[in-house]
Amino acid sequence: MGAALRRAAALAAATLALGACAGKRIVHGVFHAPSGYRVALPPDGAWRIVDDSRADLELRHRWAPAGMLVNGVCDPAVARRGAGILARHLLLGMRDRVEIERGDVPVNGRVASHRLLEGRMRQSEDRVRVESYTLKDDRCVYDLLFVAAPEAFEAERGDFRQFVESFAGE
């Protein structure tokens, strides 16, 4: 993974969480988060878990310049924030942004705010493509994020879409 992509994933993880879960509970390929959700890991072995991530779960592709993560923040004050404010926090540090898609979409019976953008991370000239889904309930905000080099984005996007569709509350 390129330095810009590593910085992008690290920045996203840092803006998502103030602290990580104590341990990653994965049962039969399904991650169970302390904040009350679950998500299935991609089954093909191409993704590895980042142990020191500040997100609930961060995955990096073993061969392609791509990463994905999911994080839940359970704080009613955060959950009351509008989608625009949440999106701005999620994408801090990204410059020269070009928005490709934006809107509300269904995710496993819930409504998510979806964005697809391309831009540069603050300290790099390398371009990255970022896809995000943000879901909310009365007490929590859940973010799912995919970051990849533009040339690798479509090839790995299917794994991310399956990851997103597997998201469910517990």
Domain residue spans of the chain: 3-169
15 vs 147 pLDDT, higher one: 147
For 102-146, write each residue's pLDDT tens digit: 999 999 889 999 999 999 877 778 899 999 999 988 889 999 999
State yes or no: pLDDT of 149 exceeds 90: yes
Average pLDDT of span 31-58:
93
| d(C-alpha 91, C-alpha 97), whole Å | 10
Instruction: Tell how strand 94-107 and strand 66-74 pair up.
Output: unpaired
pLDDT confidence of 161, banded at 50, 70, 90?
A: very high
For 77-99, write each residue's pLDDT tens digit: 887 877 666 666 666 677 788 89
For 10-37, write each residue's pLDDT tens digit: 444 444 433 333 456 899 999 999 989 9
Options 3.40.1000.10, 3.10.150.10, 3.40.50.720, 3.40.50.620; CATH for 3-169 is: 3.40.1000.10
User: Which pTM does this prediction carry?
Assistant: 0.81
